[in-house]
């Protein structure tokens, strides 16, 4: 039992504990896949935005019809759109979904409605007469009928009941979903089709349904052989939890004592490694590897990079070498990566430099994460315009319990029910987050904020630059000015004036480094450049 | 809030609730991927069986060394095998894993050891002197050192401490892992590498680590566009929960009012459907479709089949048409599928009929399921020889809460801490489950058990047979004898004598049907043949 001697301040809070429910999936998809086909039925098709909207209306309509928490809503509907929507809309109003087999006889349906105590039933027109007969045969109170017509299939509405489309059209799409506070709450009631005796009502909970969906999602790719090289140190967020995950796939864990381009290329060529994670510095190693360290490979190698914002030029270099790179973002406090720059098919045809610029974004929330957003100092969502800056905050089940023996720091980190990352970012109109800087790495020059990440991204595009870092240098006139530290690639050359001119062509004058220093950059074991050391050097220049 | 009016008997029990922990993944992999490469480090490599064995020894050794629940075990190890093993072995003895950055200085390590109160520390020889100096600088009690040597990398053991391999070699591989009873228990302690001030100790729990691994596993395939047709009725286990899952991927849900070969082929060709689930009867429809209903398609379509044991001949037919079929098994009580016949690469080169015979197995437990096994009437695991029969039982988070307003039935179903399926099966030596029959469908002839599924499998291989069912017919001499009901394919013919001879060539005499009836079979809406009706017919013959 993993209870430590002192677990004060390590309790469940809104920031680190969310009841598991499959409803989370649709909430996430409504933003993330807003314009993608979600539901198709003949000529009818709805996007995820519409799916979410219609489900919210259904929940709202049910609520207005007096359906409350724990009430049962039954359906007798074939696999048409209303049945899918009921799967989210019914639990979203706090109710329990009781889908009834469309082939059952009047007496059995009457038994189920009595036993389950359904307060409302959604019935496809094709099965309306059976449902009406069943309700007439009930002993207990009759549920209200909402009729689901399907004219295209030859089942126009009877006119005897409120029709589904009218029912939801009259409701608000702004209904606040009623999510479970305890994942043990019931989500569905399914009667077994016993061939003898009365059917039994199987009650399922939100937790199980959530785990079922995630488990199935994993299975959808099972069979692929996964061979992983452990580049991310396991002392850094437990190697992003990958070591704990590999057994799901029966994947192979390949050790990595020392991180070098040769070791990685050898593992890819000799061990068939097809997955790894690594900080951008690792990608940099590979892109700038010496010819004698490189190895040819003909399989796809997928790379997750995180730990610092990678420069677009490095991402472009990796793509050219045949790696499939996805950027992720997270912190030790979030078990590692909790956002990812998920690729969209519509970006496939962009020019390589535009692709690389997109790949440099930290992206959108991971399926397991409940929410990630960028907020201003008053904890309000910033404008998603790619310009306004704020702090990245998140909540969900993969947020730490808290800081050991430090309830004050824990409470501060979880202020307002979100974990505060300390990272400054913009959000693009599609919701993708892009880090501008660590709060402490922002350079303030003449009252203007300068993102060191932005300046570094430009410098990294220079053909001679292998690695760089930009920090604040104290300045009597401007307060601070950007100062660049640069490592050049072997066999290339560039001087200070050339690099300054290169940046000036591409950025506003005040963002251009006033000083460029050529030296090896101090790095942590996880490849993060130690900017606090460079700030010390810049101060002394 | 989904609390129903009456939730008596719907509490958490050992059968339906398991604390989430990534340790479950390795326990599963030890059986499932026993001989697959799990760990590789230069010339050293261990299979999953060995990985599990070594982890159990580590947990056992730690326990014998006085490490108890909630104690902290630290490591200063690069990404070599011992570090991976610590990720499972330390929590498996109930302790909390504190991986320390190998680059840290003496003073910081001393601070971490004091603050985290580590009782034992595993140290790679390369970092031994730093660790020793840190321990000397501690204020609190010194942790015991276990040294991890790496001679192959030039770091032979110092001789000053117990070496890791000797430590685990002396321990038992039969140690019972100490799993969390509450998933909020702590699994790891990770110090943030703050650039100013002392590092903070981030405490993570089993729940978060588990969800992180599953979430990442899902992500590993993200980007694939998933277009799903809803053939499984949503009133049957909520369509196996697929509707709730699709938003994870932004997948497309295509409606299906009536199930016909034409509708399915059209959805594949016109809507690009690439996934669906369906009972074997659906596969049967596709294999036997009329030419004018078929459509060409050039993408991969993955099919999950469940609901009844499919005949090998049908699985073979699907493969020939280019579908990738995986069989799964489950019940309404388990949210749908909880086992799957996961394909192993070593089966790739088998002849088609042997492949189909393997595909007809129900397979192994789903990642989300904690355990599935086949037991005798005393609840003991049967011999895994493909012959001994018992009942399939399972436990895990995707087992129902219970039966509504039926605590007695719930208690009976959960007897012994497992959900009892009522399905009779064998287990093959590799652990794959194969259903022999529903308990009530077994035919007992002259004291011998006959699996109706086995006889049906043989009949289905006859070129003229489209569908069949075998049930018991009362017999004065034998008690019961097999009686077959058969649907023939359009345009083919076969008579009773021919089919009986066909079976007799392939099975023992007592398993051969004594009577064959040609007629359309009665089916439920989910494609299950209604054997209770056929038993009535057989009785009257």
Query: pLDDT tens across A169-225, in order?
Result: 999 999 999 999 999 999 999 887 655 578 888 888 899 888 878 877 776 655 567
Looking at the structure, tell me whether residues A134 and A173 fall in a common domain. yes
Is the pLDDT at A118 greater than 90? The verdict is yes
Task: Check whether residue A412 and residue A468 sit in a common domain.
Answer: no
CB contact under 8 A, A241 and B209: yes
Say if A16 falls within a structural domain: no
Closest approach of B300 to chain A, Cα-based (Å): 13
If one compares A335 and B262, the residue with the highest pLDDT of the two is: B262
* Averaged pLDDT for residues B172-191: 92
Which residue of B lies nearest to A23 if distances are taken between CA atoms?
B244
B235–A100 CB contact, under 8 Å: yes
Average predicted confidence (pLDDT) for chain B: 88
Contact B196 A532 (CB under 8 A): yes
Examine residue B89 and state whether it is found in any structural domain, yes or no: yes
**What are the chain B neighbours of A63 within 8 Å (beta carbons)?**
none
Tell me: do B379 and B479 sit in the same domain.
no
* Residue B238 C-alpha, separation from nearest chain A C-alpha, in angstroms: 7
Instruction: Assess whether B333 and B352 both reside in one domain.
Output: yes
Q: Tell me how far apart the alpha carbons of residues A339 and B182 are, in angstroms, rounded to a whole number.
A: 27
pLDDT classification of B515: cutoffs 50, 70, 90: very high
Q: Determine the average pLDDT of the residues in B401-415.
A: 87
Split at pLDDT 50, 70, 90, the class of A310 is confident
Cα B107 to Cα B139: distance, rounded to the nearest angstrom: 11
Q: Test B403 with A200 for CB contact under 8 angstroms.
A: yes
pLDDT of residue B11: 84
Domain-ending residue, one of A187, A216, A245: A216
A463 and A433 belong to one structural domain: no
Domain count across chain A:
3
Domain check: are A53 and A165 in the same one?
yes
**Contact flag B29-A250 (C-beta cutoff 8 Å):** yes
Indicate whether A1 belongs to any domain: no
pLDDT value at position A270?
92
Q: How many CA atoms lie within 13 A of B464 on its CB side?
A: 12
Residue A488: HSE in the Cβ half-sphere, 13 Å Cα cutoff: 13
Pick A468 or B527 by higher pLDDT.
Answer: A468
Highest mean pLDDT pick, A118-132, A333-347, A423-437, B23-37: A118-132
Terminal-residue alpha carbon distance, chain A: 54
Tell whether A3 is covered by a domain: no
Query: Would residue A338 count as lying in a domain?
Result: yes
- Supply the pLDDT for residue B498: 94
Residue A140 is predicted with a pLDDT of 96
For residue A509, give how far its alpha carbon lies from the nearest alpha carbon of chain B (Å).
30
Chain B residue numbers with beta carbons less than 8 Å from the beta carbon of A230 are 79, 84
Among A12, A21, A23, A212, the strongest candidate for a mutation testing the B interface, having the largest count of B CBs within 10 A, is A212
Domain check: are B334 and B356 in the same one?
yes
- Contact residues, chain A, for B86 at CB < 8 Å: 234
Instruction: Compute the mean pLDDT over every residue in chain A, rounded to the nearest whole number.
Output: 88
Q: Residue B25: which of A70, A247, A340 has the nearest Cβ?
A: A247
Domain of A60 in residue numbering reads as: 23-216
SS3 string of B459-514? HHCCCCEEEEEEEEEEECCCEEEEEEEEEECCCCCCCHHHHHHHHHCCCCHHHCCC
A3, A37, A532 ranked by CB distance to B195: nearest? A532
**Domain at B254, CATH number:** 3.40.50.12780
On whether the CB atoms of residues A470 and A311 are closer than 8 A, the answer is: no
A156 and A230 part of one domain: no
Query: Region B212-223: what's the mean pLDDT?
Result: 70
Give the span between the Cα atoms of B101 and B86, in whole angstroms: 15
Residue A36 sits in the same domain as residue A180: yes
Q: Indicate whether B497 pLDDT > 80.
A: yes
List Cβ<8 Å contacts ≥24 apart for A404-410: A404/A4, A404/A6, A404/A10, A404/B115, A404/B116, A404/B189, A404/B200, A404/B201, A404/B202, A404/B203, A405/A6, A405/A8, A405/A9, A405/B115, A405/B201, A406/A9, A406/B200, A406/B201, A407/A8, A407/A9, A408/A9, A409/B200, A410/A9, A410/A10
pLDDT band with cut points at 50, 70 and 90 for residue A430: confident
Q: What is the pLDDT of residues B117-149, one digit of tens each?
A: 999 999 999 999 999 999 999 999 999 999 999
Selecting from A185, A192, A204 the residue whose C-beta is nearest the C-beta of B3 gives A185
Whether residue B30 is found in the same domain as residue B73: yes
The confidence score (pLDDT) of residue B250 equals 72
* Among A162, A193, A216, residue at a domain's last position: A216
Residue with more model confidence, B244 or B506: B506
CB atoms within 10 A of CB A415: 12
Whole-number pLDDT of residue B292: 95
B399 and B524 share one domain = no
Contact: A257, B206; criterion CB under 8 Å: no
**Of the residues B216, B251, B279, which one is the last residue of a structural domain?**
B216
- Residue B400 to residue A196, Cβ atoms within 8 A: no
Residues B279 and B134 in one domain: no
> For the residues A87-100, what does the mean pLDDT come to?
93
Please indicate whether, in this complex, the C-beta atoms of B99 and A238 are within 8 angstroms of each other. Answer: yes
CATH number at residue B487: 3.30.300.30
Q: How far apart are CA B270 and CA B276, in angstroms?
A: 15
* B303: helix, strand or coil: strand
- C-alpha–C-alpha distance, residues B471 and B482, integer Å: 6
pLDDT band at A25 (very low <50, low <70, confident <90, very high): confident
Instruction: Pick the residue from chain A with its C-alpha nearest to B116.
Output: A404
Q: What pLDDT was estimated at residue B193?
A: 66
**Residue B250: its chain A contacts at CB < 8 A?**
29, 32-33, 36, 38, 48
Looking at residue B252, what is its pLDDT? 84
Q: What is the mean pLDDT of residues B290-303?
A: 93
Chain A to chain B, count of Cβ pairs less than 8 Å apart? 485
Q: What is the dihedral of CA A256, A257, A258, A260, to 10 degrees?
A: -20
The predicted structure's pLDDT at residue B464: 92
Residues B438-459: what's their mean pLDDT?
84
Beta-carbon separation of B88 and A245 below 8 A: no
Q: How far is CA A208 from the centre of its chain?
A: 21
Enter the tokens of residue B402.
């219970």
Chain B residues closer than 8 Å to A26 by CB: 247
Greater model confidence, B315 or B224: B315
Q: Give the percent of chain B with pLDDT over 90.
A: 46
Query: Residue A28 sits in a domain of what CATH number?
Result: 3.40.50.980
User: Which H or E element spans position A283?
Assistant: helix A280-287
Question: What are the φ and ψ backbone dihedral angles of A111, each rounded to 5 degrees?
Answer: -60, -45
Q: Of B38, B24, B31, B73, nearest to B177 (Cα)?
A: B24
Give me the half-sphere count of Cα atoms (radius 13 Å) on the Cβ side of residue A48.
20
A12 in a domain, yes or no? no
Q: What is the DSSP letter of A332?
A: G
In tens, the pLDDT along A240-268 reads: 878 887 777 677 888 888 889 999 999 99
Residue B283 lies in a domain: yes
Residue B17 lies in a domain: no
Distance CA B387, CA B427 (A): 8
CA distance A275 to A270: 14
As beta bridge partners, residue A1 has none
E strand spans, B235-345: 252-254, 275-278, 301-305, 323-331, 336-340
Q: Inspect the interface and report whether the beta carbons of B87 and A244 lie closer than 8 Å.
A: yes
Instruction: Kindly indicate whether the ipTM for this predicted assembly is greater than 0.95, answering yes or no.
Output: no
Q: Which residues lie below 8 Å from residue B193, measured CB to CB, with a gap of 6+?
A: A524, A526, A528, B101, B199
Q: What is the DSSP string of A335-375?
A: TEEEEE----GGGTTS-HHHHHHHHTS-BEE-TTEEEEEEE
Among residues of chain B, what percentage have pLDDT more than 70? 97
Task: Give the model's pLDDT for residue B219.
Answer: 64
């Amino acid at each position: 039992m993993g209870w430590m001697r002192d677990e004060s301040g390590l309790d469940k809070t809104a920031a680190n504990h969310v009841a598991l429910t499959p409803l989370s999936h649709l909430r996430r998809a409504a933003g993330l896949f807003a314009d993608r086909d979600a539901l198709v039925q003949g000529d009818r098709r709805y996007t995820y935005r519409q799916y979410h909207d219609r489900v919210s209306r259904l929940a709202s309509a049910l609520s207005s019809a007096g359906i409350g928490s724990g009430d049962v809503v039954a359906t007798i509907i074939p696999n048409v759109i209303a049945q899918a929507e009921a799967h989210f809309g019914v639990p979203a109003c706090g109710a329990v979904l009781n889908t009834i087999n469309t082939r059952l006889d009047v007496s059995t349906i009457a038994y189920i409605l009595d036993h389950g105590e359904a307060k409302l039933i959604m019935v496809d027109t094709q099965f309306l007469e059976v449902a009406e007969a069943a309700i007439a045969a009930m002993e207990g109170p009759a549920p209200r009928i909402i009729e689901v017509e399907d004219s295209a299939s030859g089942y126009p509405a009877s006119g005897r009941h409120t029709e589904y489309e009218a029912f939801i059209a009259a409701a608000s799409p702004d209904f606040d979903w009623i999510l479970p506070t305890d994942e043990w709450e019931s989500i569905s009631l399914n009667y077994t089709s016993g061939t003898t005796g009365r059917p039994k009502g199987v009650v399922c909970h939100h937790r199980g349904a959530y785990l079922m969906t995630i488990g199935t999602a994993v299975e959808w790719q099972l069979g692929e052989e996964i061979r992983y090289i452990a580049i991310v140190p396991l002392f850094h967020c437990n190697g992003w939890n990958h070591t704990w995950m590999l057994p799901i796939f029966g994947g192979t864990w390949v050790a990595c004592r020392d991180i070098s381009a040769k070791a990685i290329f050898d593992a890819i060529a000799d061990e068939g490694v097809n997955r790894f994670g690594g900080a951008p510095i690792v990608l940099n190693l590979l892109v700038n590897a010496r010819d004698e360290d490189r190895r040819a490979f003909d399989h796809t190698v997928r790379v997750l990079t995180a730990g610092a914002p990678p420069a677009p030029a490095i991402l472009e270099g990796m793509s050219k070498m045949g790696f499939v790179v996805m950027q992720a973002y997270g912190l030790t406090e979030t078990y590692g990566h909790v956002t990812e720059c998920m690729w969209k098919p519509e970006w496939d045809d962009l020019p390589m430099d535009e692709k690389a610029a997109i790949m440099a974004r930290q992206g959108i929330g991971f399926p397991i994460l409940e929410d990630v957003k960028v907020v201003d100092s008053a904890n309000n969502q910033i404008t998603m315009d790619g310009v306004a800056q704020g702090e990245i905050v998140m909540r969900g089940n993969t947020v730490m319990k808290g800081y050991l023996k430090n309830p004050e720091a824990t409470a501060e980190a979880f202020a307002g029910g979100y974990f505060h990352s300390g990272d400054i970012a913009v959000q693009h109109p599609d919701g993708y987050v892009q880090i501008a800087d660590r709060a402490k790495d922002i350079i303030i020059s003449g009252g203007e904020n300068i993102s060191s990440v932005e300046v570094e991204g430009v410098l990294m595009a220079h053909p001679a630059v292998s690695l760089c870092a930009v920090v604040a240098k104290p300045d009597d006139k401007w307060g601070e000015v950007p100062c660049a530290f640069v490592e050049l690639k072997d066999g290339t050359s560039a001087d200070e004036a050339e690099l300054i001119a290169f940046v000036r062509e591409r950025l506003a004058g005040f963002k251009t480094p006033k000083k460029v220093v050529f030296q090896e950059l101090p790095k942590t074991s996880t490849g993060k450049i130690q900017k606090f050391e460079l700030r010390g050097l810049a101060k002394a220049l």
